[in-house]
Structure 1
Amino acid sequence: MSFFGKVRNTINLLKSVDLDQLQQINKQIDLSEAMKALGTLDDRQLKGLMKMLKTKQQKGEKELPPTDADFYNLDLKLTKEQRELQMKVRNFMEKEVRPIANDHWNRAKFPFEIIEKFKALNIAGVPYEGYGCPNLPFLMEGIIAQEIARVDVSISTFFGVHSGLAMGSIYLCGSEEQKKEWLPQMQKLDKIGAFGLTEPNVGSGAAGGLETTCKFDGENWVINGQKKWIGNATFADVIIIWARDIDSNQVKGFLVRKENPGFKAEKMEDKMALRIVQNALITLTDCKVPESDRLQNANSFKDTAKVLRMTRAGVAWQAVGCARGAYESALAYTKKREQFGRPIASYQLIQNHLVEMLSNLTAMQTLVFRLSEMQDQDMLTDEHASLAKVYCSMRTRDVVSRAREVLGGNGILLEHDVARFVADAEAIYSYEGTKEINSLIVGRAITGFSAFVS
C-alpha cells in the first residue's frame, strides 16, 4: 500500500472520532506526529489496527470520555512551547516515578536514581533569570509543580524545596558571588539544596521568635540551635539556615554546607505523610560559617518573607496537583470497578461525588492560574498567596476524602494511589504556613486590623 493510501485510511479512521474526542486526543498527543507514525505502518500492522477498531465497534463497546481533570481547558491558554514542557514533565512522572512511588513511599526511601533523570528536564529555577536558569513565567513553575504532585507529592516537595526555597533564597538574598557559585550547579541538580526555617518549638512564630541564634566572633558566624522538618537535609549539599543575630536581634540567612563542623542532620522517622521526603532534625552546635557564606542581602525577616511569598504560590499549585491526582485516579477506578453488573461510575451517588470533586478542583485550578498571572505581572502580595494556600489546601482535603470514599475499602490500599494522596494532603495543609496563619494574613489585608498575637 502506498504512503498516500495509508494516510487515506488513517483519515477514514479519524472520521469515526467526533469533535470533542478529537480535541481531547489533540491535548494528549501531537496529531501531526501521530499521522506520520501511522504513515510508517506496514500493510500487516495497518490491517491489524483497522481490524481492532472495527471489532470494537461491532461489539458495541461504549466509548467513554477520557480521564482528564482540566474541565475548563485551561491548558489551551498555554503556548505551544509551554504545553510541550508540561507534557514532557507529565510523561517523565508517568514513566519514571509512578511505577516506583508507592514502594518508596511505603519504605520511606528516596529514589536517588531519579535525580540524574531529572536533570534532562532542565526545570530547576524555572522563573529565575541568568545563571543557567530557564527564565520562564511563574505560571510554568506552577504548572510543573502541579504535574509533579499529580503523580507524587513527595517528589514535588523535594523539587519545590530545592528549586523554590533553596535556590530562591540565594537568588533573592545572595550576593553576586554566591549566586555564581551555587545557582548554576543547583540548576543542573549537581548540587542539592534545603531550607531551614522551622524549629522544634517555633513554626508559625518564626518572624520574631527564632531560637536558633548566630553571633559574629570577629572571624566567623557561630550558629547554635535546632531546625525541624527540613526536607532534603539528610543529603543536601547546602542548607539555607535562618537564625536570629544575638547582637542586632534581626534574622539573617546562611549557606551552611553539609561538611561544616557543628552541623548534624538526623532523618525523622514514622511520618504518616510525604514519606519519600527525607525530613531532618538539624542540630547546630557552635557551627562556624564564614562571612562569605552569609546571605549578603538577608538582613531581616522581611527578606525571608520575600522567599516565602514567592514560593507559597507553588504550594497552592502543589495542592491542585495532589487533588488532580486523586480525582483522576478515582475517576478511572469508577469506570472499571463493577458492582451489581455495572461500572460504579454509572450510579448516581458516585457521580455526585465525582462532580463535587471536579467542582472543587476546577475552582482551585482557575484560582492558581490567575495567581500565577498576577505573579508574572509583579502584582502578587502576601495576602494573594495566602488566600490561594488557604483555599487550595482546604479543598484538596475534601477532594482526596471523596476519592477515598468512591474507592470503598480499596481506598486505603497504596496500589490505587489514592491512599497516598489522602495522607500527603495533610502535609500540604500545614506547611508553608498553616491554614490559620494564612487566614490571618488575608484577614489583616481585608479588614485593616492585625489579629496576630504580639
Structure 2
Amino acid sequence: MTGVGPDYPGDLLAFARDLTRAERAKLAELRAFLESEVRPVLVDRWERGDSLADFRRPLADLRLLDDPAVLGDDGRPSRLYRGFVTVELSRLDLAMSITFGGQVGMFRTLVHAGGSPEQIAAWDPGILDFTFTGCFALSEPDHGSDVAGGMETTARRTADGWRITGRKRWIGNATISDNLVVVAREADGDRILAFVVPADARGVTRRVIARKGATRMVHNADASFDDVLVAEGRRLPRIERFADITRAFRALRGDIAWSAAGMQLGAYAAAAAYADEREQFGRPIAGFQLVQDKLVRIVANIAQTLALAVRTTTHPIDDDVSASLVKLIAADRLRESVALAREAMGGNGILLENDAIRFFADAEAMYTFEGTREINTLIVGRALTGRSAFTR
C-alpha cells in the first residue's frame, strides 16, 4: 500500500491498494493502537490466558465501523474495508479479532438478521459502543456439527414468557458478555428459536473452559440454563428455523478467509523479520534457499487466501457450499503457512517472543471452528455428487 495507511508485507498482489484514503487512515489508527497498547502485553497475556476484554471499549472509541469518514452512501462501511479491519486484528492475534468481531460481527449480525425493527433500534447503538455486549450460544456438550438435528436445549412457552433449559459449550466471549443469544428447540413445537438472554438472569451459569492450547485469550465457556425465564420481548422473532441461523451467518462466512489471511500476514512478518536478523554460517538466514522457499510459499498462500476473501466482497456468499469451500481452503492455507513460519525459525520458533508459535497454535482453533474440515468436505462433496455421506 502506498500513501496514507499501513503496509502489508506479504500482500504481493496489493489487494489493499483498493482501499480509499479514509479507510487507510482509519486502519492506520487501528494499527497504531494495537501496536502501542496491545502488543506490549500480548505475550504475557497469551501465556496466562488472560482475556482481552479491557481493550473492547478503546477499540469502540476508534469508531471503526461507524465513523462517517468510512461510511458509504448506504450508511455502511465497505466490505473490503471491514475485511481489512479483521486482517489488522488477526494480524496481531486471532483472540483480538474474536474479542472484537464476536460482538460487532457475530452478535450484531444475529440481532440484525433475527430481531424486530424495534429491537434493532434499541440495541444497536449499545452493540457498537460495547455497552450492550453479547455472544452466540449454539453448540452443546454432545452436539457440535450435528446440533441442527440434535439440539437438546429447549424453550417452553409460559404465561410470563419462555423457560429455557439446557447446556451450551465452547461459547466464545460468554463470560465477558452481558447477553447470550441462546438457540433452543421449542419444547411443544418444531421451531428453532433464538433468545437474547441476560447473562445475570436467574438460572444462568457460565464457566470458563480452562487449559486450552489455542486462542488462549478467548474465554470459551460452558453455559448452563436451569429453567431460565426470558421475556417474549427478548425473542428474536425472525428466527424460527435452523435455516434462519444459517441465513444470518452467510454474511459472515467471508470473515473466515479475512481472519486466516491476517494470521498468515502476521506469521509472515514475524518469519521475515527473524530471517533477516538471525545469522547462521556467517550470514543472515534470509539468504538461504531453504528459508526463501518457505517465505515464498507463505506469500503464495496469503495471495490465495486474500483472493478468496476479496471475492466475497464483490460476490457475497449466499449458499452453504461456497461457505464450506472458502473455510476449507482458507484453513488449509493458514495451517501450512504458520507451520512454515515456525519452521523457518528453527528451535526459536517455539518461543512466544518470536510470535510464530502463537499463530501456529491458534491456527488449530481456526481449522476446527465454524465447521471442521471434514464436515465442510462432506458439504462440498454432497454438492458435487448429489449423495450425502453424513450418515450411512
TM-score, normalised by the number of residues in structure 1: 0.81
Q: CA deviation at 1:450?
A: 3.2
- Tell me if the contact between 1:150 and 1:324 (Cα under 8 Å) persists in the aligned partners: yes
Does residue 316 of the first structure (1) align with residue 293 of the second (2)?
Answer: no
Stretches of structure 2 lacking an aligned partner (at least 5 in a row)? none
Question: Residue 275 of structure 1 aligns to a residue in which SS?
Answer: coil
- Tell me if the contact between 2:257 and 2:306 (Cα under 8 Å) persists in the aligned partners: no
**Distance in 2 (alpha carbons) for counterparts of 1:362 and 1:193:** 33
Does residue 273 of the first structure (1) align with residue 214 of the second (2)?
Answer: yes
Does residue 394 of the first structure (1) align with residue 332 of the second (2)?
Answer: yes
- Residue 51 of structure 2 aligns with which residue? 110
**Distance in 1 (alpha carbons) for counterparts of 2:192 and 2:297:** 44
Question: Residue 26 of structure 1 aligns to a residue in which SS?
Answer: coil
- Residue 358 of structure 1 aligns with which residue? 299
**Distance in 2 (alpha carbons) for counterparts of 1:99 and 1:385:** 35
- Residue 184 of structure 1 aligns with which residue? 125
Aligned identity (percent) is: 38
**Larger Rg over CA atoms:** 1
Taking the TM superposition and a 5 Å limit, the aligned residue runs for 1:359-378 are 359-375=300-316
- Residue 234 of structure 2 aligns with which residue? 293
**Distance in 1 (alpha carbons) for counterparts of 2:119 and 2:45:** 34
Aligned mate of 2:281, from 307, 317, 340:
340
Q: CA deviation at 1:251?
A: 1.0
- Residue 447 of structure 1 aligns with which residue? 385
Q: CA deviation at 1:141?
A: 2.1
- Residue 49 of structure 1 aligns with which residue? none
Aligned mate of 1:414, from 346, 349, 352:
352
Does residue 428 of the first structure (1) align with residue 366 of the second (2)?
Answer: yes
C-alpha spacing 1:183/1:25, structure 2 compared with 1 (3 Å): closer
Stretches of structure 1 lacking an aligned partner (at least 5 in a row)? 1-23, 30-65
TM-score, normalised by the number of residues in structure 2: 0.94
Which amino acid in structure 2 is aligned with residue 138 of structure 1? R
C-alpha spacing 1:79/1:143, structure 2 compared with 1 (3 Å): same
- Tell me if the contact between 1:125 and 1:163 (Cα under 8 Å) persists in the aligned partners: no
Q: CA deviation at 1:359?
A: 0.9
Which amino acid in structure 2 is aligned with residue 432 of structure 1? E
**Distance in 2 (alpha carbons) for counterparts of 1:173 and 1:200:** 25
Does residue 248 of the first structure (1) align with residue 189 of the second (2)?
Answer: yes
What's the CA shift string for 1:100-135, capped at 9, x where partnerless? 111111111113331221122213589xxx9xx961
- Residue 26 of structure 1 aligns with which residue? 3
Which amino acid in structure 1 is aligned with residue 175 of structure 2? T
What's the CA shift string for 1:139-179, capped at 9, x where partnerless? 22221111100001011111221112111110000011211
What value does the CA root-mean-square deviation take over the aligned residues?
Answer: 2.0
Q: CA deviation at 1:280?
A: 0.9
Aligned mate of 2:93, from 152, 157, 162:
152
- Tell me if the contact between 1:326 and 1:400 (Cα under 8 Å) persists in the aligned partners: yes
Does residue 437 of the first structure (1) align with residue 375 of the second (2)?
Answer: yes
Q: CA deviation at 1:76?
A: 1.3
Moved more, 434-443 or 289-298: 434-443
- Residue 381 of structure 1 aligns with which residue? 319
Larger RCO (CA within 8 A; separation ≥ 6) = 2
Question: Residue 318 of structure 2 aligns to a residue in which SS?
Answer: coil
**Distance in 2 (alpha carbons) for counterparts of 1:201 and 1:308:** 22
Q: CA deviation at 1:452?
A: 2.9
Aligned mate of 2:153, from 205, 212, 228:
212
C-alpha spacing 1:103/1:211, structure 2 compared with 1 (3 Å): same
- Residue 81 of structure 2 aligns with which residue? 140
Does residue 89 of the first structure (1) align with residue 30 of the second (2)?
Answer: yes
- Tell me if the contact between 1:383 and 1:441 (Cα under 8 Å) persists in the aligned partners: yes
What's the CA shift string for 1:400-446, capped at 9, x where partnerless? 00100011111111001111110000000111111122222223333
C-alpha spacing 1:401/1:354, structure 2 compared with 1 (3 Å): same
**Distance in 2 (alpha carbons) for counterparts of 1:327 and 1:416:** 11
Question: Residue 140 of structure 2 aligns to a residue in which SS?
Answer: coil
- Tell me if the contact between 2:201 and 2:228 (Cα under 8 Å) persists in the aligned partners: yes
Question: Residue 184 of structure 1 aligns to a residue in which SS?
Answer: helix
- Tell me if the contact between 2:162 and 2:232 (Cα under 8 Å) persists in the aligned partners: yes
Does residue 230 of the first structure (1) align with residue 165 of the second (2)?
Answer: no
- Tell me if the contact between 1:123 and 1:134 (Cα under 8 Å) persists in the aligned partners: no
**Distance in 1 (alpha carbons) for counterparts of 2:342 and 2:319:** 35
- Residue 78 of structure 1 aligns with which residue? 19
**Distance in 2 (alpha carbons) for counterparts of 1:426 and 1:332:** 24
C-alpha spacing 1:134/1:190, structure 2 compared with 1 (3 Å): farther
